[in-house]
Every structure is written in structure tokens, then in C-alpha cells.
Amino acid sequence: MSSDTLRSIKYSEAEGLKLDKIALKLGRAKRQVFLQMIEYFYRTKKDPLDINDDLLKTTLLKQHRDYVGFIKTQENDLLIPTKREVERMTESQRKVINGFNGLLKQNEVIPTLMDKQNQYLYQLEVHYKAIVAQLKTKENLKRSFLNIFDGYAMARDNISSIGSRKEKDQLLITTQNQIKLL
């Protein structure tokens, strides 16, 4: 303990109960609570009789106004622009997500379209091959026809103008039969 002389204060039992409740509520010893009350009144220069401390009220109101003003300034300078930017960014992200969702839908459709396109190309290839085969057949028919026609012309030239009408008719029928066989 310190070398200070301890003094005692007398108070009623009701005040003692109040001090006990305060000390119990704060979780401190009664002596420590009492010393802290003395220090509080000494530092703040408050009168314990003035329960409605106007100085405290005005100080609190001033600090509250300053605090509210600071918050409003921060709201105008930081919060509102930040909120706008966040909303703008959210909207752009929403558009990006919608774009990706559209791509996903297209990615689901593309394989079926590619299958249809492959089937169409396969059918085109089949038709192309058939056309090429027909063109070859046509060319072969032309060559065969020209051979038959050349044979007819040569045979007709060989048959003299004196030749019988029967030989000429026979040559014509033979040539027609060869053309029909094509």
C-alpha cells in the first residue's frame, strides 16, 4: 500500500447498496469505483448535483452534428459515387453473363447444325459422284454413237450409188439397231 493516509467516509446503507450494485455491474472493487468517480469529476469539472449537464449535452450535440456532417460528406464524396460505380459494374457483369449464356445456347445448337451441314455435304458429294458418272456415261455414249455413225457413213459410201435399195435399207436398220443398243 501507499504511504498515504487512508480516510473514511460515512454514508447510509441505501447509498452503500447503490455503490455495491455499481461496483458489481462494473466488475470492480467499491474502493476502485469510488476513486474513479472522484477522478471523473475532477477531470471533467462537472458538478455532481447537475444531473442535466448542459455542457455535456451541447458537447455531445456538437460532436454528433460534426459526426453526421462528416458522414454526409463521406456519403457524397465516397459512398454515392462508389454505389453508382458498383451498379454500373453490376450491370456490365449482368450483360457479360447474358452474353456468355447466349454463347452457351449457341454452343448447344452448333453441333446439331454441324451434323445437318455434314449430312447435306455428304448428299452433295453423292449427287456430284452420280453426275460425274452420268457425264462419263454420256461421253461414252457419244463416242459409241460417233463410231456407229462413222461406220454407217463409211458403209454408205462403200455401197455404190448403184447399190440396191434393199442394201441401203438393211444398212439403215442395222445402224438403228446399234443405236438402240446404246
Domain count, the chain: 2
Rounded distance between C-alpha atoms, residue 174 and residue 182, angstroms: 13
Local confidence pLDDT in tens for the 182 residues of the chain: 456 778 888 999 999 999 999 999 999 999 999 999 999 889 988 777 777 667 777 888 889 999 888 888 888 888 888 889 999 999 999 999 998 888 888 888 888 888 999 999 999 999 999 998 888 888 888 888 888 777 777 777 677 666 677 777 787 788 888 777 76
Domain that holds residue 146: 141-181
Q: Is residue 34 part of a domain?
A: yes
Q: Is residue 125 part of a domain?
A: no
HSE (side-chain half, CA atoms, 13 Å) at 181: 9
Q: Is residue 72 part of a domain?
A: no
φ and ψ of 47, to 5 deg: -95, 120
Q: Is residue 58 part of a domain?
A: no
Residue 88 pLDDT: 94
Rounded distance between C-alpha atoms, residue 154 and residue 156, angstroms: 5
